[in-house]
Amino acid sequence: MAALKYAGLEDTDSEDELPPGWEERTTKDGWVYYANHDEMKTQWEHPKTGKKRRCAGDLPYGWEQETDDKGQVFYVDHINKRTTYFDPRQAFTVEDVQPKPKRYDANTSALEILEGRDLSDRVVVITGANSGIGFETARSFALHGAHVILACRNMTRASEAVSLMQQEWHKARVEAMTLDLASLSSVKEFAEAFKAKNLALHILVCNAAVGTQPWKLTEDGLESTFQICHLGHFYLVQCLQDVLRCSAPARVVAVSSESHRFTGLVDSCGKVDLTLLSPPKKDYWSMLAYNRAKLCNILFSNELHRRLSPHGVSCNAVHPGNMMYTSIHRSWWLMTLFFNLARPFTKSMSVVHLESQLCTCPRTATTLIQL
Ligand SMILES: NC(=O)c1ccc[n+]([C@@H]2O[C@H](COP(=O)([O-])OP(=O)(O)OC[C@H]3O[C@@H](n4cnc5c(N)ncnc54)[C@H](OP(=O)(O)O)[C@@H]3O)[C@@H](O)[C@H]2O)c1
């Protein structure tokens, strides 16, 4: 040893060697612990390395674990007809490495968050998944094996998104279904068509939105930003609630926005003013309508969580990041200008072209979309 120490090799292969007075033992279920005969104590950590170890596998073929009259465990080798108190698994122990919790930040992509996850037994529905954040979310789920349904109002754009994902991975299980959130009857038809497939529903991402469009009434007589961003999703969840509950553990994710902070829904007496939700043209400002709808997303998600979590369905609202360059700004030149100016300073993007349509894939920290 002195010679090795002199050569600087003292610890090369003796790291696991126990100091005098110590003995290595295993529990019935294969965890290694260390007994000190001098101090009459036991501990889980190796007295030299401080590491925990466990047996790497089962008992060798032909061996059995038994307990004697005093309760001490011994091992029977039926093939060689011998018994021993030494656990043969001790020859093959491995370090018990605690996986370090992953850290996510603003540059983490949805793909990185799902890394290593097998979602092949999950069914996911994402509204507005033909572009932007919805597209990237759908793509990330699909590349991890989930069966993903893109619920979109425009089937041409949706089919292009489906084929892009299938080009990336030919086994991607993605399909497009028609859903126009500006029409309550379309929402109902979507829910019925989905139920007719007899699929489970583990994740419902309420992502679709419009942000800057001029005042318009829907066929249901409601202001369209409010209906598309909030009410349509509200109704969709009501229609699919039974499937979600039967598929528990399941979750609903409402893609909201930080911008919900810049508005309120109460009047001067502190009461919720429902006329603010679907205002007439003279009182309409698209950004305000968007912010109110995003506030509704959060309130809805909180209440939904309160009601559904006892049934195994959790609900969360998520802010995906500020001013990510998607097509959300497209209906208003001023907002397009702001998004362009902010583009170099906001989250990085990987851009995918859908023929003439610009479809951007934001790198979002979609931690709430994790399973
Ligand atoms: N981008 C940001 O900086 C940002 C920031 C905070 C929150 N968000 C939220 O992130 C979510 C996704 O937005 P995005 O930025 O990815 O915008 P986006 O690229 O414009 O995506 C919106 C999606 O919603 C769909 N959609 C619009 N009206 C619909 C309707 N009536 N029925 C069904 N689908 C409809 C759009 O379909 P079409 O292609 O057919 O129009 C599109 O696929 C939104 O909820 C938004 O509020 C975005």
Q: 263 lies in a domain?
A: yes
Residues 126 and 85 in one domain: no
Q: Which two tokens stand for residue 287?
A: 């950004």
What is the model's pTM? 0.73
Q: 100 lies in a domain?
A: no
d(CA 102, CA 184): 41
Q: Please compute, for residue 122, the number of CA atoms within 13 A of its CA located in the half-sphere on the CB side.
A: 25
Domain endpoint, select from 29, 62, 95: 95
Q: Which residues contact 145 (CB under 8 A, 6 or more apart)?
A: 118, 119, 120, 122, 173
Where are the extended beta strands (E) located within 71-135? 73-77, 82-84, 93-95, 123-127
Contact between 347 and 363 under an 8 Å Cβ cutoff? The reply is yes
> Which domain does 293 fall in, by range?
110-369
Catalytic residues: 290
**Does ligand 1 have an atom closer than 6 angstroms to the CB of 176?**
no
Q: 342 lies in a domain?
A: yes
CA 360 to ligand 1: nearest atom: 19
Mean pLDDT for all residues in the chain: 85
Q: 34 lies in a domain?
A: yes
Q: 102 lies in a domain?
A: no
d(CA 39, CA 351): 65
Residues 305 and 219 in one domain: yes
Which of 8-12, 76-80, 196-200 has the lowest average pLDDT? 8-12
Residues 218 and 363 in one domain: yes
Residues 133 and 84 in one domain: no
CA 324 to ligand 1: nearest atom: 3
* pLDDT tens, residue by residue, 304-358: 999 999 999 999 999 988 878 888 877 778 878 888 888 777 765 544 433 323 3
DSSP assignments along 171-199, one per residue? T-EEEEEE--TT-HHHHHHHHHHHHHTT-
Residues 124 and 215 in one domain: yes
- H or E segment and range at residue 352: strand 349-354
Output the pLDDT for position 174. Answer: 97
Residues 9 and 123 in one domain: no
Output the pLDDT for position 366. Answer: 39
pLDDT top residue among 288 and 28: 288
Domain endpoint, select from 71, 95, 119: 95
DSSP assignments along 2-68, one per residue? HHHHHTT-TTSS-TTPPPTTEEEEE-TTSBEEEEETTTTEEESS-TTT---EEE-S-PPTTEEEEE-
* pLDDT tens, residue by residue, 83-92: 998 888 888 7
Residues 139 and 25 in one domain: no
Residues 71 and 156 in one domain: no
Contact between 254 and 316 under an 8 Å Cβ cutoff? The reply is yes
* pLDDT tens, residue by residue, 189-239: 999 999 999 999 999 999 999 988 999 999 999 999 999 999 999 999 999
Task: Please give the DSSP secondary-structure letter assigned to residue 99.
Answer: P
Q: 104 lies in a domain?
A: no
d(CA 142, CA 339): 28
Residues 301 and 344 in one domain: yes
Residues 86 and 148 in one domain: no
CA 328 to ligand 1: nearest atom: 20
- H or E segment and range at residue 254: strand 250-255
Domain endpoint, select from 63, 95, 127: 95
What is the Cα 173 distance to its own chain's centre?
18
Domain tally, the chain: 2
Q: Is the peptide bond before 20 cis (omega within 30 degrees of 0)?
A: no
- H or E segment and range at residue 87: none
Residues 25 and 158 in one domain: no
Q: 131 lies in a domain?
A: yes
**Does ligand 1 have an atom closer than 6 angstroms to the CB of 328?**
yes
Q: Which two tokens stand for residue 93?
A: 């122990």
Q: What is the CATH number of the domain that holds 90?
A: 2.20.70.10
Q: 207 lies in a domain?
A: yes
Output the pLDDT for position 50. Answer: 87
> Among 126, 152, 336, which is best to mutate for testing ligand 1, by the most ligand atoms less than 8 A from CB?
152
Residues 84 and 124 in one domain: no
Average pLDDT over residues 264-272: 81
